[in-house]
Structures are given as structure tokens and as C-alpha cells.
Amino acid sequence: MIKEKANINWNELKFSYLKTDYRYISFWKDGKWDEGKLTEDNYIRINEGSTVIHYGQGAFEGLKAFTQKNGSIGIFRPDMNAKRLQNTAKRILMAEVPEDKFIKACKDVVATNYKYIPPYGYDASFYIRPYEIGVGENLGVRPAPEYLFSVFGVPVGPYFKGGFNPVNMVVADYDRAAPKGTGHVKVGGNYASSLLPHQIAAEQGFADCIYLDPKENRYIEEVGAANFYGITKNGEFVTPKSGSILPSITRLSIMELCEKVLKIPVFEKPIDINSLDQFSEVGACGTAAVISPIGSITYKDKVFKFYKDGKEVGPITKKLYELLLSIQRGESDIFKEWIYILD
């Protein structure tokens, strides 16, 4: 493993693409996956009839690797991402990537791109992007005859500008996903539909938008790039319950931290957009966003403001953020099984 680091200002990293040295690629054909390989080529060549181009048969994941306090490198809960990709594959009829293949591919990409992994102590991480797409010769609406699975990685800084500080959100006039559709899996179409609402929100000066349920347009679903949660004024952790929400691994993790470490009651239930006054803190959580406090939410002619008039990070959100980072960076003795250390 190469030990020197790339000439990067780790404090100035944004959440953006940077070509790193190696990525993993593997093909499924005739009912089986090949062994896969590492390559320096950051372009892929696919048939013009590939189902990912015409019918959106493709999925992706996002997870992170961190330099640990002791200098080793650890990946946060890759087994959960492997299972989620398999769940997505089932929904859109793709070949499933075995969990051990997924984890090994992630480890190989992290190990061979060591010089791009931010050192311990920086507000930065190595973002890992696995994806699977339908490829091969095809024309009709049917599952692809072949599949491509690949993993690449990029050093990144905070997803939202300003880092761990309150951001302002607005409720979108658009739906993110349909009931009984693909909102609960990580397919590209869900994100394509969020591009216009996000652009409108950004033009209005908001960090992102919040989506309501597509059936009644009444209950909060999630933030454009993350799951939603709230801390009630009596100290309960509440997050939306819906069949069209992507199950965030970060959200699952902080729910476990609430229950087992902070001893805070946790509830998954519908959150009426007009009931936001019950919360003293709200936030967004996900691999990219980590935990991002939300200062205010604008809905029609109402503006809901949270902790300290939306100007400061709430105490429970701050504690959850610190706990999660301490685990990811190898500073804590709890939930060590969440971190997969590179050999």
C-alpha cells in the first residue's frame, strides 16, 4: 500500500468529483459474475441498446471510508449498503451482487487509492460510489441480458456549504416518488426527478427542498438528498414512516444511537407538515449529508424555525453528530462492528 498522500488541501475539499487512481469493474453474463478487476480507466463503454440508457435499469450506493484515530482505514457499514443494493436489484430485476463481492470491491478501491483518503482529524472522508447498470444488446422493455457492477471513490468535504451548521429548507411543489413505486430503492430516476425542485430551491436561497408524501401531500417524506428526523420538545426522536422513503443507513445508525446510547425514545410515524411546531430540533441525515441540522422550513406562507430561532445546532443533534463521527473515526469503543478495517 502506497503511504504518501496526494497534494490536496483537505480543508478545502468540496463534495465533487475528482479522478482517483483505481476503480473496480465486473460484468455479469450468462448467469454469473466474472472475477472483476481494478482499472485506471474512469470511462465505461456500453452498447447503445443498454437498458440503463433507455429504461433506467440502474442503481447506485454511497458509503464512506475514514482514517481511524490509530492510523488504520475503516469503511462504515458496507454490509448494509450491499444488502440495500441487492434489495434495489430485486425491485428492478437486475442480477444481485453478492455481499462478499461488494465488500471486497469497496476494500480494494479504498486500499489502492490510499493517497486520496483524508488524514485523521479533517472534516473530510473518502466517498465510495458503487453502482450497477443494465448493459448489452437490447431494444424492448425487458431486463438487460448483461450487467456491469463498478465501484469508484473520491475524497470529499461537507455536502452542504458551511459544514455542520443549520441550513434552511423549503417544501417542494413536486413529488419525489410514487406510492408503491421505487421511492424505497436507490435508483437514478428518483434523483433525476429531484433536480428541478432542488434548482428552484437553490435559486430561492435554500440549501435543499423537502418532499411531502405523494398520495396526500400532507406528510413529510424526506429531504432531496437525505432522510428527515425531528426531536420533539419532550425529547423524542421522530422520523417519517412511509413505503416510498429510501431506508438510510445513517438514519438507522442514529436511531440505534438514540435508543441504546442516549436512551431517547424513537418513533417512526407520519409527520404532518402542519405539526412541525412539536419539534425543537430537526435535521437531515444520510451518507453524503451525514447529519445536517435544519434551521428553518418554509411551507407556503409559513416559516417554521427550530433551535435558537434556527441559528444554532440543537444539543441532541450535536450529540448524535459527535457520537456518529467518533465511531466512524475509531475514537469510540461502541459499535466497533460497524467499521470494516482494511487488512
Condensed to tens digits (0 to 9), the pLDDT of residues 250-287 reads 999 999 999 999 999 999 999 999 999 999 999 999 99
Residue 5, domain member (yes or no): no
What is the pLDDT, as a whole number, of residue 200?
97
311 in catalytic set: no
How many domains, in total, are found in the chain?
2
Reported as half-sphere exposure (CB side, CA atoms, 13 A), residue 176 has a value of 33
Same domain, 138 and 196: no
Condensed to tens digits (0 to 9), the pLDDT of residues 229-252 reads 999 999 999 999 998 999 999 999
Residue 72, domain member (yes or no): yes
Same domain, 40 and 76: yes
Catalytic residue among 186, 215, 311, 336: 186
Average pLDDT score over residue span 196-217 = 95
Same domain, 142 and 101: yes
Condensed to tens digits (0 to 9), the pLDDT of residues 67-123 reads 999 999 999 999 999 999 999 999 999 999 999 999 999 999 999 999 999 999 999
3-state secondary structure of 186: coil
Instruction: Report angle CA 320, 316, 301 to the nearest 5 degrees.
Output: 115
Q: What is the CATH number of the domain that holds 308?
A: 3.20.10.10
What is the rounded CA–CA span in Å between residue 97 and residue 40? 22
Residue 51, domain member (yes or no): yes
Of the residues 156, 188, 203, which one is the last residue of a structural domain? 156
Of the residues 103, 133, 156, which one is the last residue of a structural domain? 156
Of the residues 89, 122, 156, which one is the last residue of a structural domain? 156
Condensed to tens digits (0 to 9), the pLDDT of residues 180-190 reads 899 999 999 99
Same domain, 286 and 254: yes
Give the pLDDT band of residue 161 (cuts 50, 70, 90).
confident
Q: Where are the beta strands (DSSP E) in the chain?
A: 23-29, 32-33, 37-39, 58-60, 63-67, 73-76, 125-135, 146-156, 167-171, 208-212, 220-223, 227-232, 237-239, 266-268, 279-286, 290-299, 302-305, 339-341
> What is the separation of C-alpha 137 from the centre of its chain, rounded to a whole number of angstroms?
31
Same domain, 26 and 121: yes
Domain that holds residue 99: 10-156
Give the pLDDT band of residue 48 (cuts 50, 70, 90).
very high
What is the pLDDT, as a whole number, of residue 1?
47
Q: What is the CATH number of the domain that holds 124?
A: 3.30.470.10
Reported as half-sphere exposure (CB side, CA atoms, 13 A), residue 20 has a value of 29
Same domain, 203 and 80: no
User: Nearest Cα to 264, choosing from 293, 234, 295?
Assistant: 234
Same domain, 56 and 79: yes
